Structure 1
């Protein structure tokens, strides 16, 4: 397969952005028979001896999706099962919530999902794309021009890709979104997050621990090494700035104070990466021959493992819409098909972005009634097993039917 750009071929879809959501979108569209190009610099192929700074907790529907795309087997050696989620109120409030543990076995599952290093996920997806996607254009897109019958994407070297549909998976500053004249809503929190990893002397046992405290949350997520966890620490911008100046020993001591003896002695902190926490929602999910995917459409605080899972549901839903268009002999970039995609994704995106926003803001408030309400809800979940199961099921699945490629293999259509 050639990776040289072309001016002559008309694609059913060009996916812009070679992050996990973008590559998965290209694979999904190719899987349903569309003629697809994937445009954007490929992910770096870097093998490291320790966990990648950024990881993704993939829920069961995302795992089923990756199985459909033929990439789950090579990902298994990099995947750590998430058997339980432990939530602890570590605030200094007088009305602290009780601790709660959500266990996958309560839903008859072996795991809620799997935690995988972003680098491993991108590398395996891109390797599959080299075989499955019709055309790879490993250059940045400089311009997107949409018309009534097609869109033209100009690459950095001056050549073009012509397509009926643009799938913009090009991140929170998406040029595709701007070219389609789609506006956004932005939520600001005056927060930043640190992604890292650390070693510990007690096995994580497949349990992800979330410490909810004033200003944000601290979450450790299992890796394939039972004595290593990935870390996401959310705090005020000033706090994160101060933590980033600490040396490894002082930062490990700070984490030890947070986690206590839950994981034993903490050490060997990995490289730290800091990034701002902000919310962004596109006012339209599709317009002008463009469908938005992943962070081009929605960005949320790193709480509850929703971000990439939401982007993968975008990818699978777009594959459904393109499938229907091809079967009906329709243009996959026409307004009717774009409206179908937007309708399919609106409720899921809205419910997740609002839910994460409310949860994050609840951690920032000192208002006693809100703290009391949070405590009452968690206490109720601990006492009422059926309600607790409903909450777990809601966290795993969207409030609408799963896209066809995300349904379990034994129930999904061939």
Structure 2
């Protein structure tokens, strides 16, 4: 029976990055991660804070060639409603950044992370799934599908929204669904995207183009499930023409590269993110619709917090209350982001006029009031960064008046 300081359960991006982070923090790690049977054609936009975290783990230099920077984000009201919000463009240079973040193909990102895991001396990789787990006050005992038994001082659930570890810990969840599906695809286009991401807000959800390297982009098209299914079955030529039409040809002629995937939109948040000798990260703890690039960025903040708890003093064994400490560290960030993403999505779906007015007025205010605009951009890149910038903005304003 093999024993480790930490066992990470889950074969996705969050699980692999957590294993690397904890190992480089000095802990011995078992990564229990079966190979995914279906390739993930989605892309993920990682914000500046997440990119800096990957750089600290020495992962960024190998990932950078496969990414495209997000130097600007453009929001266009694509509804036919009476009250329409103005087109708003946010530029990273306004807050002193080369880019808000970078867009990755998930498959490429996972391949590079897996390669890094194989070279990490403190990580032992088990290419299998978790069968059962027993948690007690001193350790976790994990029986794997391969028949192997592993014990650990602490166990991390990165095993998705149907987490076996979460169920074993008797942690309940609050879950909900939306009357939407996301049609996900990649496409090439004639005109350069100039590192601008464009998001059309429609009555059924956002239609979001995000740059990829070269004259290529990814698309998340949120729509009614009854529309997504037939559109996914169109020929590539028909779908290409439809995407170009919805993009108003701002990128010229479009060529969809492969059959799209459909992802039903839903949300979920666990009642606790950790307790005792276990913690939940990524989609085992929280699930978001693909709006505002929050999903994996929030998961990486989980990993940063978990590493700070478990690796603060590697000369000492992991404390029996480490999971509860992690839960307290993550609660405000996760719950506030859950509420804001849910509110944004529902504001697009509602026909309630006061909500439409508030949304249009909010975007108008961001267009004309630079201090608020700067705060929102900084807060989107890194939680707390926008709020920390407020005193500095007031000081600069006072100094300019004195001058």
Shorter-chain TM-score: what band?
A: over 0.9
Matched, 1:281 2:263: no
- Residues 141-184 of structure 1: CA distance to partner in whole angstroms, max 9, x if unpaired? 11111112111111112111100111100011111111111100
Structure 1 pair 400/103, CA: closer, same or farther in 2 (3 Å)? closer
Shift in Å at residue 325 of structure 1? Answer: 5.3
Matched, 1:25 2:18: yes
Q: What residue is the counterpart of 2:328 in the other structure?
A: 343
Shift in Å at residue 200 of structure 1? Answer: 1.1
TM-score by length of 1: 0.90
1:137 pairs with one of 107, 126, 137: 126
Structure-2 separation of matches of 1:44 and 1:242? 25
- Residues 28-61 of structure 1: CA distance to partner in whole angstroms, max 9, x if unpaired? 1001101111111145898xxxxx7211101111
- Residues 215-239 of structure 1: CA distance to partner in whole angstroms, max 9, x if unpaired? 11110110012x1101111112112
> 3-state DSSP class of the match of 1:157?
coil
Structure 1 pair 124/43, CA: closer, same or farther in 2 (3 Å)? farther
User: Which aligned pairs between 1:41-60 and structure 2 lie closer than 5 A?
Assistant: 41-42=34-35, 53-60=41-48
Structure 1 pair 43/78, CA: closer, same or farther in 2 (3 Å)? farther
Q: What residue is the counterpart of 1:406 in the other structure?
A: none
Aligned length, in residue pairs: 385
Q: What residue is the counterpart of 2:138 in the other structure?
A: 149
Shift in Å at residue 134 of structure 1? Answer: 2.7
Matched, 1:183 2:172: yes
Q: What residue is the counterpart of 1:10 in the other structure?
A: 3
Structure-1 separation of matches of 2:256 and 2:161? 32
Q: What residue is the counterpart of 1:411 in the other structure?
A: none
Structure-2 separation of matches of 1:285 and 1:251? 41
Structure 1 pair 325/147, CA: closer, same or farther in 2 (3 Å)? farther
> 3-state DSSP class of the match of 1:392?
helix
Q: What residue is the counterpart of 2:399 in the other structure?
A: none
Matched, 1:267 2:260: no
Q: What residue is the counterpart of 1:255 in the other structure?
A: 243
Q: What residue is the counterpart of 1:405 in the other structure?
A: none
Shift in Å at residue 351 of structure 1? Answer: 1.0
- Residues 10-29 of structure 1: CA distance to partner in whole angstroms, max 9, x if unpaired? 21110011211110100110
Structure 1 pair 45/77, CA: closer, same or farther in 2 (3 Å)? farther
| RMSD of aligned Cα (Å) | 1.7
Shift in Å at residue 70 of structure 1? Answer: 1.2
1:324 pairs with one of 312, 335, 338: 312
Q: What residue is the counterpart of 2:109 in the other structure?
A: 121
Q: What residue is the counterpart of 2:157 in the other structure?
A: 168
User: Which aligned pairs between 1:188-227 and structure 2 lie closer than 5 A?
Assistant: 188-225=177-214, 227=215
Matched, 1:363 2:348: yes
Q: Which ranges of structure 2 fall in alignment gaps of 5 or more residues? A: 387-403
Q: What residue is the counterpart of 2:94 in the other structure?
A: 106
- State whether residues 210 and 219 of structure 1, in contact with CA within 8 Å, keep that contact through their aligned partners in structure 2: yes
Structure-2 separation of matches of 1:398 and 1:36? 29
Q: What residue is the counterpart of 1:410 in the other structure?
A: none
- Residues 112-146 of structure 1: CA distance to partner in whole angstroms, max 9, x if unpaired? 11101111111111111111143111111111111
- Residues 252-272 of structure 1: CA distance to partner in whole angstroms, max 9, x if unpaired? 222122111211111234220
> 3-state DSSP class of the match of 1:221?
strand
Structure-2 separation of matches of 1:129 and 1:316? 17
**Higher RCO structure (Cα 8 Å, ≥6 apart):** 1
Shift in Å at residue 69 of structure 1? Answer: 1.1
User: Which aligned pairs between 1:37-76 and structure 2 lie closer than 5 A?
Assistant: 37-42=30-35, 53-76=41-64
TM-score by length of 2: 0.92
Structure-2 separation of matches of 1:340 and 1:11? 21
Structure-1 separation of matches of 2:229 and 2:200? 20
> 3-state DSSP class of the match of 2:174?
strand
- Residues 387-412 of structure 1: CA distance to partner in whole angstroms, max 9, x if unpaired? 100000111112389xxxxxxxxxxx
Shift in Å at residue 207 of structure 1? Answer: 0.5
- Residues 172-199 of structure 1: CA distance to partner in whole angstroms, max 9, x if unpaired? 1111111111100012112111110111
Q: What residue is the counterpart of 1:81 in the other structure?
A: 69
Structure 1 pair 205/350, CA: closer, same or farther in 2 (3 Å)? same
